[in-house]
Structure 1
Amino acid sequence: MKTLTIRQPDDWHLHLRDGAVLQAVAPWSAAHFSRAIIMPNLVPPVVTSADAAAYRERILGALPEGSGFTPLMTLYLTEASQADDIESGFRNGLVTAVKLYPAGATTNSQSGVRDVEAVYPVLERMAKIGMPLCVHGEVTDPEIDIFDREAVFIERVLAPLRRRIPELRIVMEHVTTKDGVDFVRGAGENIGATITTHHLIINRNAILAGGIRPHYYCLPVAKREKHRLALREAAISGEGRFFLGTDSAPHVDPLKESACGCAGVFNAPNTMACLAHVFEEENALDRLEAFTSLNGPAFYRLPPNEKRIRLVRSDEPVEYQRKIRAGQDEITVFDPMFPIHWKDEDDAS
């Protein structure tokens, strides 16, 4: 048996949804993470500080009694967003960041930004007050191959934005390519990147080889093996600009297993066990804490958690719950396609 004690991790990119799904999934994140950046792409989206306050109350109401989990709220950026409202929410501690979705890029992003220059006044205000911008980094031009959308976004949108407002603090969410890793490394101190658990484990073969497997379909879509290896190298590097954002994005099975299945992987229940496996494979368990528990708080200018968790490795594989119930439906938990030997000792699954 092997054990590893680290500061309690945070999740810097999390979808909790709403309604029955929120009630079902929130306890799983709260069981492992102290804080999480909550994505605002509901229907309707979380656009104003008042929307964020109401959603935060619904999240807190879905948590187990006595939970210490803190949802860090974000606002959904639109071309009608009001800088004064955003600044007010940030200054009073209600809102932590703003999320930029290119319109149509992913689930519930139809209300997103079509012309980035139209939101420059809001972004300039955010830069002035030190408020982070979280970016879904893909173009939606139908002429661009889906596997190239991240690289083209960097060229067309992110690089010009960095030149125009270099002081703006940006998180490139769920980076999926070597292009993204290289850009973040060369873009200066004000940019960081989250990396998901599943993008460290799967490449595009998981979705397409041997039949279409919808529970591995996510956006940004998993890429070639060379990109997965670049993400692994970044995650285990210990570099402060890379940190965990699970992008745990639950959908009930009927919406995943359909002719037009939704994008998203639900990995909250077994993320820490999967990450311990990955870092052990790379002989980098001593850097797991930096990736999951230290780098994110440092970028967001928050203190690291004082509480510790203990990960335990057993000789025999650990059985994890394959599905969870959400109302009348089920949600499938991410299957890493290898035996998991690690377990958070506080995990009762």
Structure 2
Amino acid sequence: MIQRLTLRTPDDWHLHLRDGAMLRAVLPHSAAHFARAIIMPNLVPPVVTSADATAYRARILAARPEGSDFTPLMTLYLTEETDADDVAAAHASGLITAVKLYPAGATTNSASGVADFTRVRGVLERMAEIGLPLCVHGEVTDPAVDIFDREAVFIDRVLEPLRTRVPDLRVVMEHITTARAADYVRSVPAGLAATITTHHLVINRNHILAGGIKPHYYCLPVAKREEHRLALRAAATSGDARFFLGTDSAPHTDPAKLQACGCAGCFTAPNTMPILAQVFEDEGALDRLEAFTSLNGPAFYGLPPNDTQLTLERGTPDIPAQIDTEDGPVTVFDPGYPLHWRVT
């Protein structure tokens, strides 16, 4: 039985750090285990321009723990008014690593997202020309479509037509939740990848709804049937370079979660690596954990893997049930079973 596991330091290819007091409270938990992270731009107001991204990056760097060299990889929030020249200049300067597409109304702070995809085609074509990836929240927002079907419908109605119109655009399907999405990624030989979250490898929709509503398991995209969870585990542990870690760690205070219309999101930054080590061990794939957390993402984004290391050893991790912020307590995602790996 393996007692100790050393990996290249992981990266998080989908992270919510929020802003202000929340940023200052949650950033140390990501910086402790991850060298870099793709930072989500859905603040209020959103990070739309290069000036917005410059200012937000400065706030993130100022919030890093002393001695930390955590690197935020900034993104811009795509709107129907996004300026292609501003996007290209931000990319050329090294300021941004990707652009984020939210269908309008799909998730937290997505009201400024895209409703008419014809209005962003020029930006997407420019991104294809310069090799700048598009990260997509892959759900339609049509109220006639069942919430459990919105990812599959997005592939058919939005993503496949988009990729046909702009075939050279590099796309990351973020936080996939279905076997359909995993199969779609596998069907494309190049230019398409997907992130998988920690919590979607652990929970299915029963965890949210059976025996009473569990608000801290409510996320968007919502967890699906058990067959889809198993398909995600198979994809994550396969070693396939098109799948890599994006935690979608999304902190909300407990008062924001525990109300009549509670916020969507699971805060997984503090315990992602112990959970993933457990998942990969349970699947007999500990030898593929480094690819999922540390190699596949940099390869897709054209970045070198980190030259530092992170070590896990067998043992019970010391993970708080909550963290305190100036805005209120934030509950840490509970996998619902004992963990037997800890970060040293």
1:338 corresponds to: 337
- TM-score, with normalisation over the residues of structure 1? 0.97
| 2:317 maps to 1:318 | yes
- TM-score, with normalisation over the residues of structure 2? 0.99
Q: Which string of whole-angstrom CA distances, capped at 9 and with x for unpartnered residues, describes residues 93-142 of structure 1?
A: 00110000000000000000001121010000000000000000000000
Q: Which string of whole-angstrom CA distances, capped at 9 and with x for unpartnered residues, describes residues 250-281 of structure 1?
A: 00000001110000000000000000000000
- Paired with 2:243 and 2:84, the residues of 1 have a C-alpha distance of 28
Note the residue ranges of structure 1 that are not aligned, 5 or more in a row: none
| 2:42 maps to 1:44 | no
Which portions of structure 1, spanning 4 or more consecutive aligned residues, are displaced by more than 3 angstroms?
none
- Paired with 1:160 and 1:186, the residues of 2 have a C-alpha distance of 15
| 2:342 maps to 1:302 | no
SS at match of 1:97: strand
1:123-272 pair list within 5 angstroms:
123-272=124-273
Q: Is the 8 A contact 1:318 1:339 kept in 2?
A: no
1:319: Cα distance to partner?
A: 3.6
- Paired with 1:318 and 1:274, the residues of 2 have a C-alpha distance of 10
Note the residue ranges of structure 2 that are not aligned, 5 or more in a row: none
Q: Is the 8 A contact 2:35 2:306 kept in 1?
A: yes
1:162: Cα distance to partner?
A: 1.2
- Residue 326 of structure 1 aligns with an amino acid whose one-letter code is T
SS at match of 1:259: coil
Q: Is the 8 A contact 2:39 2:72 kept in 1?
A: yes
1:83: Cα distance to partner?
A: 0.2
1:120 corresponds to: 121
- Paired with 2:117 and 2:229, the residues of 1 have a C-alpha distance of 29
Q: Give me the CA root mean square deviation.
A: 0.7
SS at match of 2:232: helix
1:187: Cα distance to partner?
A: 1.9
- Residue 122 of structure 1 aligns with an amino acid whose one-letter code is V
- Paired with 2:189 and 2:42, the residues of 1 have a C-alpha distance of 29
1:328: Cα distance to partner?
A: 4.4
1:10: Cα distance to partner?
A: 0.0
2:11 corresponds to: 10
- Paired with 2:246 and 2:295, the residues of 1 have a C-alpha distance of 13
- Paired with 1:26 and 1:328, the residues of 2 have a C-alpha distance of 15
1:88 corresponds to: 89
- Paired with 2:88 and 2:219, the residues of 1 have a C-alpha distance of 32
- Paired with 1:40 and 1:188, the residues of 2 have a C-alpha distance of 29
1:23: Cα distance to partner?
A: 0.6
SS at match of 2:32: helix
- Paired with 1:123 and 1:97, the residues of 2 have a C-alpha distance of 11
- Residue 335 of structure 1 aligns with an amino acid whose one-letter code is D
- Residue 59 of structure 2 aligns with an amino acid whose one-letter code is R
Q: Is the 8 A contact 1:181 1:234 kept in 2?
A: yes
1:188: Cα distance to partner?
A: 2.6
Q: Is the 8 A contact 1:28 1:268 kept in 2?
A: yes
2:59 corresponds to: 58
Percent of residue pairs bearing the same amino acid type: 70
Q: Which string of whole-angstrom CA distances, capped at 9 and with x for unpartnered residues, describes residues 187-225 of structure 1?
A: 230000000000000000110011000000000000000
SS at match of 2:194: strand
SS at match of 1:265: coil
- Residue 306 of structure 1 aligns with an amino acid whose one-letter code is D
Worse overlay, 236-245 or 182-191: 182-191
1:65: Cα distance to partner?
A: 1.1
